[in-house]
Amino acid sequence: MDGSLGLITIFGSAFLIGFSGALMPGPMFALVLSGSSKSGFKAGPLTVLGHGILELALVIGLVLGLSSLLQNETVIKVIGIVGGGVLVYLGVDMIRSMRQAKIDLKKEGKDPGKRFILHGIITSLSNPYWIMWWATIGMALMLSASKYRLWGVVVFFIGHILADLVWYSSVSLAVDRGRKFLSQKAYQSIIAVCGVLLIGFGIYFVYGAL
């Protein structure tokens, strides 16, 4: 009984802490917002899938002893500079394609799923604060969960990624349902704002690294 209660506590803690982090505006939020306005609801869950694939690989790496590397100052600086540059590129590309972007209420005919999954991976990997979170808070939570061995780590990861899935799916659903009410100008404005946000985050990450 104590073991079950402990696993429930781990799940609840992972979900609440993960949800509070997901609520903070960031690069992934900007991409989900932009993608949902163009391709509908699937943008959110698929972006989280890419994010989750990378986080699963990171959790496995932490279990195998990757934590010391993630706490290396040089590694964090390199991630900040390279990652920031990638975000600036994505933001500039988004703004450049803004005028050609048009609302299609039928959504895209071809499934762009791979693109969203890839963006989920890229935006996570390019964010040095995501790395720092896992090297500190994430690692501390995992150590606590590891008291229940593999099940503890599994339950922790499920709770954490579920928080992202719930939040970004909700964002996608809200944007998708509101697409029919968007004017062409409003749609292009959303893309422009998201592009500026990505550029801003990219510059901030590079500045922080330097």
Model pLDDT, residue 111: 54
Q: How confident is the model at residue 1 (pLDDT cuts 50, 70, 90)?
A: very low
Model pLDDT, residue 3: 66
> Is it the case that residue 25 has pLDDT exceeding 50?
yes
Q: pLDDT tens digits, residue range 119-132?
A: 899 888 888 778 87
Please give the model's pTM, rounded to 2 decimal places.
Answer: 0.77
The Cβ-side half-sphere exposure at 163, using a 13 Å CA radius, reads: 19
Cβ atoms of 38 and 101 closer than 8 Å? yes
Nearest Cα to Cα of residue 142 among 49, 67, 54: 67
Segment holding 162, helix H or strand E? helix 149-178
Better-scored residue on pLDDT, 82 or 2: 82
